[in-house]
Amino acid sequence: MRSLALKLARSPRTLFNMFTDRISTPCGLRLMGVMSGQGCSFTGAPAIKMVAGARIRLGDDVAIGSRLDANPLGLSHPTILAALMPDSYIEIGDGTGISGASIVARRAVVIGARVLIGAGACIWDSDFHPLNPDVRRQHPTRDARSAPITIEDDVFIGARALILKGVRVGRGAVVGAGAVVTRDVPPGQIVAGNPARVVGPVPGMGSGAAQVPAGGGAATQSTTP
């Protein structure tokens, strides 16, 4: 109680932020059709884009940071959740935390439980534009290649990592800061770099986890549950 009074005295914005985080953001999300479980918390308002028919579902105890001060690292933009096509969906599992990330689905992005998504990470299941300029001239986005992304439970995605179409990140894996992930990540492994490659096992998970040689495994198309 005393610390709340001190906070209020220090910053007149505190009341406004409390209103945004506890009332207007949860209500706004509900009005927009975002389904959320119990105990979700918001620091600042995420940017939501959801076309008619698309779905965005948050599990229980999901924490989403969107304000500059939501994370001591600083956020350069609010968390973005965008489901762009009538059959797109985004699912975020129980206890997952997201800081100023951009999660955009033309098909599907499915994120498991207790996943940590670092500041400025991007999870995009599409190229968003066709690669051929003649096709692009006819229509800037139609025929862009897209494939669902799955992030399994207990994954840790470092700040500013980029996870591209069709990738599955296996349970308990770690994606290094700034990595560009174009291929599946085996469970319990750490990947880093551009393009991301396995650099070793997650401490304490190495023996049970699938091993692939440095250089990565073969690409596989993800499926969604």
Ligand X SMILES: CC(C)(COP(=O)(O)OP(=O)(O)OC[C@H]1O[C@@H](n2cnc3c(N)ncnc32)[C@H](O)[C@@H]1OP(=O)(O)O)[C@@H](O)C(=O)NCCC(=O)NCCS
| Residue with tokens 């509900």, as numbered in its chain | 30
> Does residue number 202 form part of the binding site for ligand X (CB under 6 A)?
no
> Does residue number 205 form part of the binding site for ligand X (CB under 6 A)?
no
Catalytic residues: 129
> Does residue number 135 form part of the binding site for ligand X (CB under 6 A)?
no
> Does residue number 24 form part of the binding site for ligand X (CB under 6 A)?
no
> Does residue number 182 form part of the binding site for ligand X (CB under 6 A)?
yes
Beta carbon of residue 196, minimum distance to ligand X (angstroms, whole number) = 8
Instruction: Give the one residue of 24, 132, 138, 194 binding ligand X; rule: CB under 6 A.
Output: 194
DSSP state of 69: G
Beta carbon of residue 160, minimum distance to ligand X (angstroms, whole number) = 13
Beta carbon of residue 161, minimum distance to ligand X (angstroms, whole number) = 12
Beta carbon of residue 104, minimum distance to ligand X (angstroms, whole number) = 9
> Does residue number 106 form part of the binding site for ligand X (CB under 6 A)?
no
Q: Where are the beta strands (DSSP E) in the chain?
A: 35-36, 41-43, 47-50, 55-58, 63-65, 80-83, 89-92, 97-99, 102-105, 108-111, 116-117, 122-124, 149-151, 156-157, 162-163, 168-169, 174-175, 180-181, 189-192, 197-201
CA atoms within 13 A on the CB side of 208: 9
> Does residue number 74 form part of the binding site for ligand X (CB under 6 A)?
no
Q: Interface with ligand X by CB under 6 A: which residues?
A: 127-129, 131, 145, 164, 180, 182-183, 194-195, 216
